[in-house]
Structure formats: C-alpha cells, structure tokens
Amino acid sequence: MSIQTIGVIGAGQMGNGIAHVMALAEFEVVLSDVSQDALTRAMEIIEGNLSRQASRGKITDETVRATMKRITTTLSLPDIGGTDLVIEAATERETVKQAIFEDLQPHLKPDTILTSNTSSISITRLASRTDRPEKFMGFHFMNPVPVMQLVELIRGIATDQPTYQACLAVVQRLGKTAASAEDFPGFIVNRILMPMINEAVYTLYEGVGNVESIDQSMKLGANHPMGPLELADFIGLDTCLAIMNVLHDGLADTKYRPCPLLTKYVEAGWLGRKTERGFYDYRGDTPVPTR
C-alpha cells in the first residue's frame, strides 16, 4: 500500500523526532498526546530543530514552514485512526502500549498499519492483542531521531510481507537505513548496547573505576563518541533499567541482571539529563560526575 499519512502517538523525545522526520519527508503527520503542554512543547522543539537545520544550510526557511504545516496535533486518540501508518511512541511500558492500541482499534481504517517504536518489548505479543497482527510490526528509531541514520524493522511472527515492504519504503523515503531484526528481547541494538551500559554501571558499583575514568576509558580506549554512563544519562536511566528487565525476563539469563546501582538511581529519581541528575549532575554549566 502507498503510505501518505502518519499518526504518531506520544509527543515526547522520540515522538516529536519521528513527527519531525516524517513531515520533512513530506508525509502528512497527526501527532497525538494526552497532554496539551506536551504537544505545545513538541511543536516548539520541532520548529527549533528545523530552524537549526536551516541555519546550517541543510534545508531552506521555506522548507521549515512547509514542514510545520504538515503536522497537526490532537488530544483525541481517535483522530489518529484515519492515517495510513500509526507509530506508537508512548512510554516503554507494555500495559500502556496495549491500552493505546485497544482504544485506537475501533477507529482504524481496515488497511491501516500499526507499529510500535518500542526498544525491547515483544512485537508478536503486542500484535496479538490487536485485530491485525499481520499488519503490525516494530518501527524502532534511534535517538535523536533527526540525526541517527538507523531504523530497526522488527517483524512479529504474524507480520506479512506487504506490511514489511510498506514500512521499508517509508524508511527509504526518510533517507535512513533499515536493519531487519527478529522479534527477540532487545532486538539488535539494545541486545548489544544495554548489557554494555549495565556492565559499566557494575564497574562503577564494584569500585573498579569512577564515572569519569569509566567514560574516558571507553571514549579514548575504544573510540566511542560518548562514554557508557554519559550515554545512559542521555537515554534515560529508567529506560535503560526497563530494557535490562525485559532482557532478563525474556531470556532468563543472569548475565542480563540489572545492576543494583542502576536500580538505586532510578528509585532516587535520578534518571539522567531529563531530570538534571544521573551519573552526572547537569544543574551547573558543566556536567559533574555524581560518583
């Protein structure tokens, strides 16, 4: 099928990035959230990021205006139902995602494709709770969406080939690269990345190194652009913990056991950049390690 309209559910960090790249690729976008403040903030962020692209000569001012006009916002989930492709980008909790698809289902067109931007939850299981498991798949963008080139496409057991091809065509129209992943916990990127971050937290927890030495070692010794603890703060420690729990529960292997220190930071509400404290304290001019 030819996809022209995109519904994005969730106007947070991932949702506004997805709306940005879709509208820039000349799709008509409907962005939905339960909070008007979140929608207002998302539109401000999208316009700011587009303007930054224009200031660098990557797009024109006219493109910025045209892109913003392609995005409409709504507090009403049923308004998403008339789109060709739905991308759910709500919080990384399976019960929340299931409730969204259940509420949306009566309002969908017969041929609408449903997808989730989940970073680790079973696509097969999410699909099984809908009326169209063959038209359901994982559409996992990397953060920040406008910058990162990869999109993981994850087929559930029931996902049919036309659905996969339609989603692949969308990724290609965005000018991004698709990686096909099988539906196992964490898919490809997080199956490899999160245990590395978790091991870095264990290294901190066991006193092998402090925050600065761990991050410096991986940046200068392994040529990583960001240290693992810095990256964890950027992703969000609550998200890292949620993915580690999915890996641990889904694969039943002790090597995926979340580090107790990661759990402690999340319990403290120190979730990284979004709360201004995590493995670094971001409340001053320069981030300061917290351990």
Q: Find the catalytic residue in 119, 120, 122, 198.
A: 119
Say if residues 113 and 159 touch (Cβ distance below 8 Å). no
Known binding residues: 10-15, 33, 92, 97, 119, 143, 274
Q: Edge to edge, what strands does the sheet with 177-182 contain?
A: 71-74, 28-32, 5-9, 85-88, 113-116, 136-141, 150-155, 177-182
| CATH 3.40.50.720 intervals, the chain | 5-182
Distance from C-alpha of 195 to C-alpha of 190, rounded to nearest angstrom: 8
Long-range own/partner contacts, residues 98-103 (CB < 8 A, 24 or more apart):
98/126, 98/129, 100/9, 101/126, 101/129, 101/130, 102/129, 102/130, 103/77
Amino acid at 276: E
Say if residues 97 and 70 touch (Cβ distance below 8 Å). no
| CATH 1.10.1040.10 intervals, the chain | 191-289
Q: Is 182 labeled as catalytic in the residue annotation? A: no
Q: Is 140 labeled as catalytic in the residue annotation? A: yes
Q: Is 16 labeled as catalytic in the residue annotation? A: no
Q: Find the catalytic residue in 122, 140, 198, 230.
A: 140
Distance from C-alpha of 222 to C-alpha of 216, rounded to nearest angstrom: 9
Known binding residues for NAD(+): 10-15, 33, 92, 97, 119, 143, 274
Per DSSP, the three-state class of 27 is coil
Distance from C-alpha of 86 to C-alpha of 126, rounded to nearest angstrom: 14
Give the fold, CATH level 3, of 191-289.
Answer: N-(1-d-carboxylethyl)-l-norvaline Dehydrogenase; domain 2 (1.10.1040)
Structurally, what CATH architecture does the domain formed by 5-182 represent? 3-Layer(aba) Sandwich (3.40)
Distance from C-alpha of 195 to C-alpha of 163, rounded to nearest angstrom: 31
Give me the pLDDT at residue 120, please: 83
What is the chain's pLDDT, residue by residue, as a tens digit (291 residues)?
689 999 999 999 899 999 999 999 999 999 999 999 999 999 999 999 999 999 999 999 999 999 999 999 999 999 999 999 999 999 888 999 999 999 999 999 999 999 999 988 899 999 999 999 999 999 999 989 999 999 999 999 999 999 999 999 999 999 999 999 999 999 999 999 999 999 999 999 999 999 999 999 999 999 999 999 999 999 999 999 999 999 999 999 999 999 999 999 999 999 999 999 999 999 999 999 999
Distance from C-alpha of 45 to C-alpha of 60, rounded to nearest angstrom: 17
pTM: 0.90
Q: Find the catalytic residue in 117, 120, 190, 198.
A: 190
Distance from C-alpha of 132 to C-alpha of 148, rounded to nearest angstrom: 30
